Structure 1
Amino acid sequence: MVDGALPGRAERTSVYAARGMLIESSDPTWLYGTSAEHAAMYQYNFYRSKKVFAAMIRTEAPFFQDERPMLVQRGISSLFSGDPICTAADLCGKALGAIVKGTKDVTIAGADLFSGYNKDNKNCASNNSCQNTAIAADDNQNLQLGNVVSVGANNTIVSDKKAIPAKDNVATNANPKWSQINSVAAVQSARDAGSCRNIDAWPAKPGDGKYFDPIKSKLPMPYPKMFINMVNGSPLRFNNIQKNSYQIKPFDFADVDPGFSPQVSLEYGPGTFTDCNGEAGYQLNGTGSKFQIRATTNDKDKDNKMRAQYKFDFPVSGVQQGAVYEMSSRGNDRAVNFVLTGSDKVGYWSSLNPPVAWMTQLLPVMGGRKLRHISMLGSHNAGISVRTGGTIGPSDASICQGVDVLGQLQAGARWFDVRPVIGNGGQLLTGHYSGQKAPVFGISGQAIDDIVGNVNAFTRDNAELVVLSLTHAMQTDEKYRDLDDGEWDRVFDAMEKLDNRCGGLKGQIPDMKLGDLIGKGRACVIVLADGGKVRPDKGIYRPGDSFDFIERWSNVDKAADMAADQESWVRANRNLVADDKARKDKFAISQWILTVKSVSVLTSSIEDYALNRAYDPVFWRGYSSWSPWSYPSVVLMDFVGIINRGDKKLTDMSGEVRALIMAVNLGLASRNCWVGGGGLG
C-alpha cells in the first residue's frame, strides 16, 4: 500500500490492509529489491519457508500504528498461516517489519526497516519508540541475516526471545538515528524436537491435493496415475535427500514437515510401461535414520499394475529393517498412504503392520491424558456388514462396513455406532433404516449377540478401551416404532454378557484418564444408550449424564464439501488450550462419511463412496487440517479397514488408517503441552 495525501482532500483517509507479503515456499525462491509497506500486521512473513534468498527488502510501518483499528474486531487477525497471535498489544497494534518463523535455509541479505509513526507521533523515530521490534525470529534453522538497518524500533531483532537493541548499533548522530548491523548470528533452533509446542508455532493450513473423480476414473487414460500420501506423525522433518525417476512425472517428492501430509502425484508414461521407475530418499532431520519410497510396476497384475515400495533403514516396529515392502495401487486416481509416527524415545510405527492393540502400545505416552483428549477411530453403522433382513431395495445402499465388528476392532476402531433393532420375528439385530415415516427403506445386519461375542473375543487378547454407542433403536416388526423400556431391557441384558464392562464410573467419563480405564492387562468396555433405563453400575450409561459428546454429519455426497465442512466444524468446536475462556474441549465426533443421494443408489454404493472418494482425503486433507490444539476425539468412517471395493477381509494394507490414528495421538496431541504433550522427547 502506498501513502500520501489524496489530491483535493484535506481530511485524513485511512485504508487498512492486514498483511504484506507471506512467503511459505519450500522450493528455491529469490526476492531482489522488493518492498512491502503500511500493512497492519506485518510487511514480510517468512513462515515455515525453505531455501529463500531475499536481497534488499524494504519495509515501512503504517501511519496508524497502535490504533488497533479493525483487525481483531473483524476477525481477520488469525486467518492465515503464520498470523501473529493477537494477545500482546505490540503484535496486534504495531506492524512488524518482518517475521521469520519455523524456516530452514533462509538468507536476508539486506533489510531497510522503517517505523516512523506511533499514533501519528512523528517524533518517535528519534528515540526508537515507534514500536518494540523490527524483525521477530523464532524456531529457525540456518537463518542468515546481514546488512540490517532499522529506524524507529527499540529492538532491531528479537531472535528466539533474545533481543538486539537498536541503541547498541546506532550508525549516525543525525535524525533519524538508524541502527545498522552488518552480520547477525541469529539464534538457531536447538530445542528438543519431541517437546510440546506453543499454539503459535503450528501451521493452520490444510493440505492441498486432488480428490477422486468418479467420471475420469472410468475413462481411458493415456497414462495411468496414482498418488502417495505421506503422513508425518513424528516430531522431525522428513528431509528429501535424493530423488530420481524415469518416465514418471511430476514425481514431486519434497521435504515433509511434522504434522503435514502432502499428496504426491505419480503419472506413468509415456514409453514402455515396465520401464517406469522412481525413488525418493528421506532422512529424519538431525538423525541418521533414512527411508526410501519407490514407484515401480508389476505387469503381471492385470488390474493394478502400478506399485509403491517402502524400505526403512532404521528400526520401525513390525517391519524388518532393510526389507522392501510392496503395495499395489488401487486404480486410477487412488492413493497408497504412507504413515510414519513416533520418535527416537518411544519408537517408530508405520502404516506397515502397526500394532492391533494400539492404545495399549501407546499407554506410556497417552495414559495420562483425559479420554476427551485422545483420538479414536470410529465405525459408522458398525453392525451393517451383512444383510439379514430388511425392506425392498439394493443392499449396496445400506451396507456400511466390509467386515464384522471383530474385524473392525482388529483394523483399529474403538468407537462403534451400533443401532439395535428388533426384527425378523423378534430377533435382536442391528439396523440401518431411512427413518420411521413411510416409506421406510433399509436393512438389518449383524445380531447383537454376535457383536457381543466379537467384542469378547477381541478384549480377551487385547486390553483396549471399546465404546459401544447405541442409538436409532427401533422395532421393525411393528411399523418401525421406537423401542419401549422392556425392549431396551432385552438389549441391555445382551450387553451384560460383555466380559469387560466398566461399571460404576462416576462423573463425566471423558474426563477420566485412559490409564485409569485400561492397563496391566485390563480391558474396558463402555456402553452408551440414548433410550431405556440405563444401568450405570453394569457399565451401561446415558450419554448426557455420563458421556456427553457432540458430532457432525455433513450430509453431502462430494468429498471436497465433506472435508471442508468437517475441517471447519472441528476447528470451531475443539480448541484445547489452558485458557478457560478460550477452551473448547467437548468430546467431538467427526463423521468422515459421504451420503449417497437417492438417485445415485441405482448406480453406486456406500462402499464406492467410502473407499474411492472419502478414504484417501482423510490422510492428505484431514490430518493436515488438524493441529495439536484442534483434532477430533473420534474419526467416524464407513468400511473400516477395507482398502479396495469387493474386499471381504482385512489385508496387509488395512493398517493405514490405524497408523493414522496413532499419528494423531503422537504427532499432533503429543505436541500440546496442556493435554499432556512432550512425551516424544
Structure 2
Amino acid sequence: MRALHTLALLASSAWLLVSGQTDDVCRIQDRTYSPEAMPAGSHQPYDKLSPAVGGLSTKFYITVVNLTPHRLRLANTHSYQMDAFDFGDVPPGRARQNAVKYRGGLSRDDAGEAYYLVDGADQRFAVRVKSYSGPRPRRVVLDLSGMGLGQREYVFPGGDTAVSLVVAGSRRLGFRASLRHGPGNWMRGLYDVIGDRPVRHLVMPGAHDAGMSKITNKITSIGSRSNTQNQGVSIYDQLRAGARWLDLRVGSMAGLAVGNTGESLDEVIGEINRFTSESPGEIIFLPIRYLVGRYAFPDGGPILWGAAMVGEFFARLRGINNRCLDLDTSTGFQNHRASYLMDQNAGKGCVIPLLSGRLGAGVPRESPGDGIYDIGRMGIDDRWSDQMRADVMAPDQIGTWRSAVRGGAADHGNLVVAQWLVTPDAVAATAYSLQSFAIQPTNPSLYWAGVNGMDPEHWPNVVLVDYLGVQQRDQWAWDSLSAEMYTLAVGMNLYMASENCDVNRRRGPLRSAPKVSRGVPWNGIIFANGTTVDRPPPGIHPGRAAILRSGTVLGNGTVLAASVPNPWL
C-alpha cells in the first residue's frame, strides 16, 4: 500500500488519500479526452474596445472549459427577452463558447439560465444571466453550489466578450472551479502527479513583463499607465495567482527613454521571498532580459554593462531566497525532473534566475555557485506573434505549440512559451489601454480558442499573459481577481497531460485517485464588487428565476403562454 499523504490541491483544506491503487498503469483505452468538434467561437471585434461602441453591444459569451474526465451535459435552458441563448454540452478536455444576445435595449427583465449535469458524478451547476438597474447592469452568475464550490457574480468586461468558467478535477479526486484561487503552492499539491515529469512536460502560467504592475516614473518618458503597464497586481499576487514564469526586464537608466519603470528589483525580490516563505516547494523561473543601460538619447545607443555593474546586479540577486546553487548543467534545465527542483533547499523548492542580456565580451553571464544561470541553460521556444488583434495572434500561437509533440519518439525537447498577448501600436494602446486589450479580446479567447487548440499530445508549457487574474478593468484587489489561469494550470497538469501515456506512465490521477476524505466544502458567494459571503443563508442564489414568465423560451423551443413556477429550481 502506498504511504498516506496529503494533496492540498482541490480545497482550502487538505485531501487525505487513504487507500492504494493496485493497477497503476496508464492505458490508451482509458483515455477520456474527446476530439468532438466544438461550435466555432468569436473573438471580440476591434471596434468593441471603444467604450462608446462596446457599451451598445447586446452580444456576449459565457465560455465553459471542461478539464475533467466527465461530460458536462446541458440539461435545460430557459431565457426571457433574449434573441440568442445558445448553450450546449462540453465534452472532456474541450471548451464551448456559449452565445447570449439580448433583445434590443436594456431591460431589467432580461434573464436566462442554463443547467448542467456532471455525467457520472451526480453533481450539477447553473449559469445565469440577469439585468439590473444602475452601472454595469448585465451580470453573469456561475452557480456551482451544487458541486460544493460556491457562486460568483461577474460583469462582462466589454461588449462582444466573454466570462469564463474553468472546471477541473473529477468525482474521485474532487472538483475545482475558477471562481477563486486555491493554495499558493499548487505545484507542491501536485507533487505525486508531476514530480516524475521533466519540466518540459509541465504547464505553468506566466506573467508577461511581470514587474510592470505599476508605473513609478523613475525616468523621463512618454510611457504611461495606459500604454506601458502590463500587470494589475504585484509579483507577490501574481505568484499567488499561479504564475511560475515571471518575465522580468531589468536595466539601468540614464536620460530620456521610451517606456517607463515599474517595480524596483528590490521590491521584486522582497515579494518573491514573501511568497516562498508562505508557499514552499514551488519551481519559479525568473527569465531576466535586457541587462543593459537605457538609451541616453533615442539615438544614443545602448549603455553596456561592465563587470562592476554585473557584480552589483549579482549581489542583489543573491538576496533571493531558495536559489538553487550548482544545479546539474550537464543537461538542459527543461529536462530536469520537477521533483529534482522541488526537493532543493530541503524541500523549499527552487527560484531560478535565467539571464538574457546584451553583456559585453568578458563580462560574467552567470554564477552557478550563486544559483544564477544563463538562459542558454534551458532549451526554450519562445514565439512572439507581434500582432495587434487576438484573432490573428491566436492561430499563430496555437500553430506553434501544435508543432511540438509531447511524449514518444517524436517528443519535443524544449520548453514552449506561448505568448498569449497582443501588441497594439502606441496610438491604440494609449487610446484603449493595454489592460483593455488583455481583459477583453485576448485573455478570454484563451479559454475557448486556446483550449480547443490543445489535446493530450499538444500544449504549451508556459502561457504568458498580460493582466494575470484581472477580469474587470481596474479591479485589482485580491478578492476581485478571478482564477481561470490558476485552474487551467491545475487542470492541464492533472488531466490533459495525464491522458498522454508517454508523459504519464501511471493511471491518470483523476481516475485512479483512491477514496478521498475532504473537509467542509466552501459554498459561499463572491459578488461582482469583490464582496465575499462565506456562509450565505440557505437558498440564496443571485439571478435565479423562481417564476418563468409568459414569453420565456425553453431549451426545446417551447414558448410559455403563461407564467409558471420554475421546475428546475
The normalised TM-score by structure 1 is 0.64
Q: What is the aligned partner in structure 1 of residue 5 from structure 2?
A: none
Q: Residues 267 and 414 (structure 1 numbering): CA distance in 2 closer, same or farther, change over 3 Å?
A: same
CA distance in 1, matches of 2:124, 2:485: 23
Q: What is the aligned partner in structure 1 of residue 542 from structure 2?
A: none
Identify the match of residue 570 of structure 1 among 390, 401, 406.
401
Gap regions ≥5 residues in structure 2: 1-22, 358-363, 512-569
Q: CA deviation at 1:291?
A: 1.6
CA distance in 2, matches of 1:195, 1:616: 34
Q: Residues 205 and 588 (structure 1 numbering): CA distance in 2 closer, same or farther, change over 3 Å?
A: farther
Q: Deviations over 1:491-550 (max 9, x none)?
A: 221111111111221132222222232268523211111243311122111222x22211
Q: Which has the higher helix share?
A: 2
Q: What is the aligned partner in structure 1 of residue 326 from structure 2?
A: 504
Q: What is the aligned partner in structure 2 of residue 380 from structure 1?
A: 208
Superposition pairs of residues 636-655 of structure 1, within 5 angstroms: 636-655=464-483
Q: Residues 412 and 223 (structure 1 numbering): CA distance in 2 closer, same or farther, change over 3 Å?
A: same
Q: What is the aligned partner in structure 2 of residue 550 from structure 1?
A: 381
Q: CA deviation at 1:412?
A: 1.4
Q: What is the aligned partner in structure 2 of residue 680 from structure 1?
A: 510
Identify the match of residue 453 of structure 2 among 625, 634, 644.
625
CA distance in 1, matches of 2:481, 2:214: 22
Superposition pairs of residues 147-296 of structure 1, within 5 angstroms: 203=35, 208-216=40-48, 218-219=52-53, 224-270=58-104, 273-296=107-130
SS at match of 1:326: strand
Q: CA deviation at 1:653?
A: 4.0
CA distance in 2, matches of 1:587, 1:222: 43
CA distance in 2, matches of 1:516, 1:392: 44
Q: Deviations over 1:418-446 (max 9, x none)?
A: 11111269xxxxxxxxxxxxx95111221
Identify the match of residue 274 of structure 2 among 451, 457, 475.
457
> Are the equivalent residues in 2 in contact too, given 1:369–1:513 (CA < 8 A)?
yes
1:390 equivalent to 2:223? Answer no
> Are the equivalent residues in 2 in contact too, given 1:195–1:679 (CA < 8 A)?
no
**One-letter code of the match for 1:490?**
E
Q: Deviations over 1:145-166 (max 9, x none)?
A: xxxxxxxxxxxxxxxxxxxxxx
Q: What is the aligned partner in structure 2 of residue 311 from structure 1?
A: 144
**Structure 1, 663-672 or 368-377: larger mean CA deviation:** 663-672
CA distance in 2, matches of 1:384, 1:661: 23
Identify the match of residue 293 of structure 2 among 475, 480, 495.
475
> Are the equivalent residues in 1 in contact too, given 2:356–2:374 (CA < 8 A)?
yes
CA distance in 2, matches of 1:617, 1:665: 20
CA RMSD between the two structures:
2.8
1:330 equivalent to 2:138? Answer no
Identity of counterpart residues, as a percentage? Answer: 29
SS at match of 1:275: coil
Superposition pairs of residues 419-568 of structure 1, within 5 angstroms: 419-423=249-253, 441-463=258-280, 464-476=282-294, 478=296, 479=300, 480-506=302-328, 507-518=331-342, 522-531=348-357, 532-544=364-376, 546-568=377-399
CA distance in 2, matches of 1:534, 1:596: 34
CA distance in 1, matches of 2:417, 2:56: 41
> Are the equivalent residues in 2 in contact too, given 1:249–1:265 (CA < 8 A)?
no
Q: CA deviation at 1:309?
A: 3.0
SS at match of 1:666: helix
> Are the equivalent residues in 2 in contact too, given 1:575–1:585 (CA < 8 A)?
no
Q: Residues 603 and 508 (structure 1 numbering): CA distance in 2 closer, same or farther, change over 3 Å?
A: same
1:341 equivalent to 2:168? Answer yes
**Structure 1, 229-238 or 341-350: larger mean CA deviation:** 341-350
Q: What is the aligned partner in structure 2 of residue 154 from structure 1?
A: none
Q: Residues 199 and 554 (structure 1 numbering): CA distance in 2 closer, same or farther, change over 3 Å?
A: farther
Q: Residues 643 and 259 (structure 1 numbering): CA distance in 2 closer, same or farther, change over 3 Å?
A: same
> Are the equivalent residues in 2 in contact too, given 1:501–1:524 (CA < 8 A)?
yes
Q: Residues 398 and 243 (structure 1 numbering): CA distance in 2 closer, same or farther, change over 3 Å?
A: same
> Are the equivalent residues in 2 in contact too, given 1:379–1:413 (CA < 8 A)?
yes
Q: Which has the higher strand share?
A: 1
Q: Residues 419 and 325 (structure 1 numbering): CA distance in 2 closer, same or farther, change over 3 Å?
A: closer
Q: CA deviation at 1:342?
A: 0.9
1:298 equivalent to 2:132? Answer yes
Q: CA deviation at 1:270?
A: 5.0
Larger Rg: 1
Q: CA deviation at 1:553?
A: 0.1
Identify the match of residue 416 of structure 1 among 232, 242, 246.
246
Q: CA deviation at 1:403?
A: 1.8
CA distance in 1, matches of 2:472, 2:495: 27
**One-letter code of the match for 1:467?**
F
The normalised TM-score by structure 2 is 0.76
Superposition pairs of residues 13-92 of structure 1, within 5 angstroms: none
Q: What is the aligned partner in structure 1 of residue 517 from structure 2?
A: none
* Number of aligned residue pairs: 467
Q: What is the aligned partner in structure 1 of residue 7 from structure 2?
A: none
SS at match of 2:221: coil
Larger RCO, structures 1/2 (Cα 8 Å, 6+ apart): 2
**One-letter code of the match for 1:610?**
A
**One-letter code of the match for 1:552?**
R
> Are the equivalent residues in 2 in contact too, given 1:307–1:328 (CA < 8 A)?
yes
> Are the equivalent residues in 2 in contact too, given 1:643–1:653 (CA < 8 A)?
yes
